[in-house]
Structure 1
Amino acid sequence: MTAALAPALDVADWQARRRAHEERVDAWLAPHLARRRTGATHPVEDFLFSYYSHRPAQLRRWHPGAGVLLRGAGPAEFGRDYLTTAAGRTLDTEGVRARRAESIRWIRTLLAATAGRPAHFGCFGMHEWAMVYRQTQDEVRHNAWPLRLSPAETAAVVEERGVRCSHFDAYRFFTPPARPLNLLTPTRETQYALEQPGCLHANMDLYKWAYKLSPLVPSELVADCFALAREIRTLDMRASPYDLADLGYPPVRVETPEGRAEYAAAQRGFAERAAPLRARLLAALD
């Protein structure tokens, strides 16, 4: 699509969208940046900024997505991926796609494969338990926060429930003795074949795929994926073996039948909310 045929936004319209995006993101960034200045950390709220590579400034920066002409935008605005025309600026869509062709193909294949697979809801969050399996309090990843059960009791839950994790980037953080307990052995090479739309981490990763596709996708879509990922992370840690009640996160006690039912219901809800975001990303790619 050429700039002349692109949908156009007047200055007031795109500046309003940019301002709304920045204000939305600032509500997430301000507490994180304040903690970072003092060296404090938060096991829930800071996770998306430490685990994923997208920096706060990148999340805050607004892009309209491919095929939009920004009337009145100056040459210095929006960066090197944009073309300057007499009417304004528009993304060099073909140039960006050419530079990222391999990554785009990989992401699209994964998203489509995941969307086309039935969702499973029987893992009950045991991946977080497998990450602390047979470790002492000092050894666990978030050792500033206590475990709800003793290390022996935590291990007993893992051994009784078993682990059914299909997500490679969760599995790779399992402790060595926990890995043989998993029903699957996920690898990067088998990610296409294993990732499924009921998985909390697969749905959290929609944020990763969205920002890796930026600026081809609108920043509002990246922010929508971030917002869902924040909520998913909350459930992830509430169902974990950590005791975060003092931070305002009551546990989802997946070691009990009632807790497992609560977890599965929330997991279904996240899968339902993730599906249209995955569809929007695929539509933007297509």
Structure 2
Amino acid sequence: MTRAAAHEARLAPFLDAHLTRRTHRTKHPVHDFLFVYYSHKPGALRRWHPGFGTALGQAEAYAGLKGYEVVDGVARVPRSYVESQHVLLTTLRRLLRATLDRTPHFGCFGLHEWAMVYQLDQDATRHSAWPLRLGGAATDEVVDSHRIACSHFDAYRFFTPAAKPLNQLSPGRDDRAEFEQPGCLHASMDLYKHAFRLSPMVGSDLVADCFELARDIRILDMRAAPYDLSGLWLDDEEFTPVRIETPEGKAEYVTAQRDFTERSTPLRTRLLAEVERLLEVVEPVAAR
């Protein structure tokens, strides 16, 4: 099996299921996130790229794709495209380095999802088809009785207006490198975003590794969320909540959070190595 075929076979079960649901206009509160929140389309994820520095003989399959040039029947990512991504590369280098250097924190308990529904009516929540597991008033009590310390801007920005002042931190759109920390589940999910934004300069094996990490973290994210998802099945297993409002649920969440941090660190390191490899193409040594 070629690397391209292996890549497609690896992702096909998830992508095919998503496309079937989309055809039938069936929403999935857990898996849809990976294609609604993240802008990488299923077809783009399915397509395999070898990364910068590798030439492809099957030029017709890559002709016209963003980031490629075809010369003498050979397709490749040219140096000029890498140069055009200099701002993205330097921004990611700073973010990835800062996150790797920071001590992980494990005390958030996934309360960002609770802060996103704080003091909202049921029909105003992001997943209004699924009721709140504890009801509105008890859900608000969980938020009120905990210290909220979300370090991830793209979670914090979805807090309800009433919940935002409760957060102990104030992450902003332009200061992510000052707040991101490796224990944050959303920071680890975003490794998928960083990887596909670097495509086709990085190989699709790394993108797929980050996608699978994001998929698995998303399951924990929603198991710890306030929604009642009873009746939902994932991979032939019934969806069960992580009851973070209890000591037992907190312990379960932190254990899983630590596991995902250990799993995400090598991927973050690989991404940083790819960014630095690409920057070597466009930056003199003294600039690094």
Please confirm whether the aligned pair reaches a TM-score higher than 0.5, indicating the same fold: yes
Q: Helix, strand or coil for the counterpart of 1:89?
A: strand
Residues 82-120 of structure 1: per-residue CA shift (max 9 Å, x gap): 34456843321x112111111111112111111111100
CA distance, structure 1, for counterparts of residue 110 and residue 72 of structure 2: 54
Q: Would you say 1:139 and 2:129 are equivalent positions? A: no
Q: 1:25 Cα shift? A: 1.6
Q: Report matched runs for 1:11-160 at 5 Å.
A: 16-70=2-56, 72-74=57-59, 76-80=60-64, 81-84=67-70, 88-92=74-78, 94-160=79-145
Q: Helix, strand or coil for the counterpart of 1:187?
A: coil
CA distance, structure 2, for counterparts of residue 144 and residue 87 of structure 1: 52
Q: Would you say 1:252 and 2:242 are equivalent positions? A: yes
C-alpha contact (below 8 Å) 2:4/2:48 kept by paired residues: yes
Number of aligned residue pairs: 269
C-alpha contact (below 8 Å) 1:63/1:78 kept by paired residues: no
Identity of aligned residues (%): 55
1:226 to 198, 211, 223: 211
Q: Would you say 1:171 and 2:179 are equivalent positions? A: no
CA distance, structure 2, for counterparts of residue 78 and residue 283 of structure 1: 25
Q: 1:79 Cα shift? A: 3.1
Q: 1:29 Cα shift? A: 0.8
C-alpha contact (below 8 Å) 2:104/2:182 kept by paired residues: yes
> What is aligned with 2:222?
237
Residues 162-208 of structure 1: per-residue CA shift (max 9 Å, x gap): 21100000000000000011010110122110000000000000000
Unaligned runs of 5+ in 1: 1-14
CA distance, structure 1, for counterparts of residue 40 and residue 219 of structure 2: 19
CA distance, structure 2, for counterparts of residue 41 and residue 205 of structure 1: 22
Please give the TM-score of this superposition, normalised by the length of structure 1: 0.91
CA distance, structure 1, for counterparts of residue 44 and residue 71 of structure 2: 25
Cα RMSD between the aligned structures? 1.3
